[in-house]
Chain A
Amino acid sequence: MSTLALERQIRPIYDSLDSGSHKSALLACNKLLKKHPKNDHLKALKALALTRAQKFEEAIALCEEVLATKPTDDGAINALMHALRHLGRFADLVKLFEDAFKQQPDNDELGRQAFFANVRAGNWKAAQLLANKLNKQFHNDRYIFWGIMCTVLQANDPMTTAEMREILLKLAHRLITTSWKPAEVHADRLYLFVTILQQLGLYKDARELLNTESGRFHCARNLSCDYLRRDIMRAGDWQREEAETAEQRILSKRDRNWLEFVSILDATFLPSALPNETTCESNSSSPSSFLQRVEKTRDLFTKVAEEDGSHERAAWLGLMELERRCGVHGIVSEPSRLLDLLKRYFRIFGDKAACFEDLRPYTDLGSDVLADWLAFLEGITHSPPSNTALSRFINAHKLLRHGLSVAQLTPDQEEIRAADLVRGYFEALPLEKDLPNLELQPADDLAVLAGQVYANAFTLDNAAAHLHKAIVVLEYASKKSPQSYQIHLELVRIYRLLGAPQLALDHYRLLNVKQIQNDTLSYLILSRSTNFSLAATGDLTYASECLESSHIYFSNSQETSEFIVKAFSMEKYSQISELVVFEERLDNSLQRDLVKIEHVRLRISHEPITPELVDMELIELKFIFDRLHHDNRDLEVLPNYQPRGQLSFLSQTTLFGREPATGWLSAFLKIYIKTLSEASDLDPSVEDDKLLIGDRPRQCCSPDASIPLMERLTIQTTEELSELTENELALFHYVNDLTDWLDPFHNFLRPQGESPKQAPKNGQSSNDGVPSDGNGKKLEDAPPITEPPDSILSYFKNAHAKFTGAVEGRRPFYEILHIATLTQEALLLFFICTKRFKDASIVRINKLGVLAQHIKSLRSSAADVVGQIGAQLINISELEGTADKRRQFIEHCEALQTHTEITHEYVLEVGKRLTESQRKVLEGVGRGIERIRKTPM
C-alpha cells in the first residue's frame, strides 16, 4: 500500500480521537496494525487512544516500544508527544525529542521541541545547553535569551547551592551583557536583564539600564518593568529620587496609584532621615529638617486631597498614613489632627463599602480622642433611609465594633448588639425589595455582622443558642441575597461548628467553587472531614468531594508547563519564573495532601483493605512525605469584623481552634505510612516505577532527606504535636506502640526472596503473606512473642471514657464525633496492621499462635469498645431531630420572632433542618461504626 493510501486510512483515526471516540480509534489502529505491524505512527496513535481511554499500563508499554525505535516521523512524534504529555511522562518527552533532534540536527523545529521538552520537565541546565546549541546552529537572538533565562531558573532552583547560584547568575550576566543590543530592546528582555542585575545586587547598573531611553520608555508603559524599577530604587536606597518621580507623577500625570504615595512617605520617614536621639549618627538629620520634610509631605497631600475631593481616596489616606507613621516614630502631632481626618474621610467616603477597610489601620486612637470618634460614629443613623445612609450606617457599625474593648465583650452585650444589627437589617431590607435575585442586597453586611457577633458570643460562653440565632438570621439573608458568598461562607462555618455537615456542604456547593478555588477554598469544608463522614455506611459524599477538589492538580501538571513553554516562545520572560513558581506551589500544595490523607482515611472505612489498596496508598503517601509544602489556602476570604485583639471569625469557627497544617499532615502521614508499611510486602527499591502516571515527583531539598524514611518516621516534632488535638495525639501514640510491637513479626513474615515483589497489576494480589522460599518456612525462628503493650488496649478504654465524658458533659457534637471517628479509625488501623496474622496456616507454620491469640483478644476488646461507642451514638441521635429539640431551638430564637419576617414556621423550618442534619450524622457515624465492628477483616 502506498504511503498516501495509508495516510488516508489514518485520518479517520484522528477524527475519532478528536471527537472522543477512543474505542473506534483503537479498533481502527488495531486493524491497520495487522497490516503494518511495525508502523510507529500507528503505534503512537494507538498509545494515544489507550491513554485517552484511561488504559495507562498498556499505553505506557506501547509508548516505550515506540520510544525505543527513536522515531523521526512527524506523525509518530506528534502522537507520541500527546500521549506522553497526557501520561505526565516529561522525562520520556525529553528523550523523544532529543533523539529525534540528534538524528536530524538541521531541523530547527525539532531542536526547539527538544528545548521545550526540557522546559516542561524543569531541566534548566539541559535546556540552557540546548538553547546555546540552537543559537550556534541557527543564529537566532531568542535562543540566546532562552539560554539566559534557563540559567537564571537553574540558579534559583531550590536544589542549587548558594555558590553555584552566584556562578550561574554571573554567567547569565555575562551572556546578557555581551548580547545586549540597546536599539532592539523589548520590555521582557529588559525585565530579564534587570532581574539578573537585581539578584547580583548590581543596583547601580540596573538603575542605569532603566534610565536609558528605552528603559524609561518601557517603565512608562509596562507595569512589570515599572514595578521592578520601584524595587531597584528601594534596594539601592534611592528613595529620595523615587519620591521626586512619584510627586511628579501625582501632580502632572494625576497618577493616584497608592504606590506613589507610599514612595513619598517612605522617603519622608527614611531611617537615615529620622532624628535619632539615642545614636546621634552623623547622617541622621536634625529634628527641624525632618519636621520640615513631614510638613512638606503633609502640604503636598493636603493640596492633592483638596483638589481631588470625593473623586480619589489616595491623598486623604496618605494624610492619615502620615499621621500614623508620625505616631510610630514618636513625633508629637496635634492629637485632633488624625481624628479630624478620620471624620472628614468618613463624611466624604462613608458611603463606600471600602470605607471600613480603609480606615481600620488608623483607628488605634489615644483615649483622649477615642471617645470623640466613637461618639461621632454612634451619631450615624440610616434615616432618612437611602442606600448611601445605609452604607454609612454599616461602616459606622463595623468601626464601632472594631473599637470595642474586652470589658465590653460579654455574651449579654453581644446579644444586644446582634439584636440591634438584625433590627437594622430588617429596617433596611425594604430599600431594595424589588431587586432581582442575582443582585446583592445593600443590607447584607448587617446580617453578616450579626452572624459574627453571635459567633463571638458563642466563643465567650459556648451556648449553642447564639449560633441558632445566627443561622436563622443568615438563612433568611441568604434567601434575600442568594448570591452573597459571605453569607454562605458564614453558614458553612457555623453549621460545621453545630455538627450539621450536610447543611454546611449545601451552602458550600452554592458557592460554585471550581478550578483553582478548589485548592484555596476546599479547606472550608474538607478540613478534618473524616469527623463528619458517613463513608462507613456507604455514603461517599465527602470521599467524592475530596476527589473532585483534587482534579485541579492534574490540570496543573498537564497545563501549566505548556504555558511556560508558550511564555518562552513568546519571549515573555517576566512571566516565566512566576509560572514556574505557581506550578510548584500548586503541585506541592498543602491542601492537596491534606485532602489526600482525608481521602485515605475515608477510603479505609468503606473499602475492603486489599493488598493493592495498601501498596498504592503507601507509595503515594511516601512521596507526599518528602514534599516541601506550600500553604495556598485563602484564609482571608471572609472579612473579619471581630473587635481588635480578638480571634477572627474564621479562627472562632475553626473546629478545635486549629486548622490542620504541615505538622498535622506530617503526623497523619507517619500514622498511615507506619501502618501501611507493616501491612505491605513491597520492597522499597522497586517502588519508583509504580507510579503509573507521571514522573517521580521532584524531591525537595529537605534538610533531613538523607536520613532513611523509616528512621524519619520515628521522629516527633513539636510542630506536629502542637497541631494535633488531644485525641489525635493519642491515636498517634497508639499507632507508634502498635507498630513497634508488631514490627518484628511483620519483618519475620514478610517475603524476603531474592527478587522483590512487583507492583500489583490489575488488582492482582502481590501480598499473600506467605514467605517466599517455596514452602513458606524461614530458616531462622520466629522472634520471641511479646505481650502487647498495655497502651494499646488502654487507648480504646480511654477513648471510651472520654467519649462518655463528652456525651455526659454535653460537649458539642463535633467533639463527640471526633472521639468516635478517631476510635473507629484506630480499630481500622488495627485491622490493617494485624491482617497478616489472620491466616491460620501462616500462624501455624511460623509458630505464632500465641501472638495470634493476643491479637484476637485485643481485637475483640477493641471492637467491643468501639461497638459501645457506636451504639451510644445511635442512642444520642434518637434524641435529636425530635419535637423537643425543635421546641428548644424555637425557644432560643424567640427574640428574633419580634420581626414580622421571622415567623414561627420559618424558625421551625430552620430548626427542623438543623436538628435533622445533626441526627443524621450522629446516627450515620454510629451505624458506620457498627458495620466496621462487625466486618470480618
Chain B
Amino acid sequence: MPITLVQGLVVTLLATICAIDLQLEGFFLFRPIIVAPLVGLALGDIQTGLLGGALAELAFAGITAVGGTVPPDPVLAGVMTVVLARTTGQPVTATFAMSIPFAILAQYASLLYNTALAFVNPRAERYAKEGNVKGILNLCTVSIILHALVYAVIIFLSTYVAQNGIRILVESLPEWLTHGLDVAGGLIPAVGFAMLLKVMLKGSFVPYLFLGFLFATFIPFDNILPVGILGVACALIAFYQSAKGPGGRVDGAIPIDGPEGGSDVGI
C-alpha cells in the first residue's frame, strides 16, 4: 500500500521530533520501540508499528551511542521497518533488514554533521571571549534546527519520494569513502584529547597518563569507570602523601609537584 503525501509529512514530522531527541538524548524518544509505533499510528497500522518496534528495539539493544561513536541510526531503522512493511507487504522481520541501508545513510549523515560542526568551535570560542551567553545558547538552537532539517529531508525522501533511489544510493557508496570516513571518525577525538593535554600535561603528571592508558588497554571494559577508580586511587595517594611531607617534598613517594609548578626533583 503506497504512502500518501499527508502520511509522508506526518511520519516526517513525528520521526524528526524523535531524531531531535536522538541528538539530545533527553527522553529516549529515538528508540525503535517508540519511533515504530508512532509511525504505525501515523499510517493507521499501530499493530505493525508495535511488532516492528519490538523487533528493532531488541536488535538495537546492543547498539548504543556510548563514547561519542555514531551507530546505525535507530530512528531510521524504526521508521523504515514500518514504512517498508506497509509499502511492500513483507513481514517486519524482512523489512527490518531492508531498513538497515537507510539507518546507515542516516548514520553517515550524522557523522558528517557532527564532524562539520567542529568548525563552529572557533565561533563558540569567540562568543565565550566576548562573554556572549546569548550567542552560545543560539549556537545550540541553530545546531538543533539544522540537524532536524537534515533528518527531515532524509526521512521524507526515504518514506515518500525516493525509497528505491535512496537504497541504491546507499548501496553504491564506494567502500573507500565509507571506510575513510570511519577511520577519520576514530581519529578526530585525538584532537580534543590533545587540546586538554596541552593544558594539563606537565612533566610530573605524564606517568599517570601512561597508567590510565595501560589500564584501559589491558582491561578492555565497556566504560571508563575502572580507569576512574584507578585515577581516584592515584589522586588519593598523592593527596595524602602531600599532606605528610612538611615542605611539599616527599621522600620515596610519587612526585607531587603541583600545577603551579614545583621542580621535577621528585622524579
A, B assembled together: no
Residues in B lying within 8 Å of A, measured CB to CB: none
Residues in A lying within 8 Å of B, measured CB to CB: none
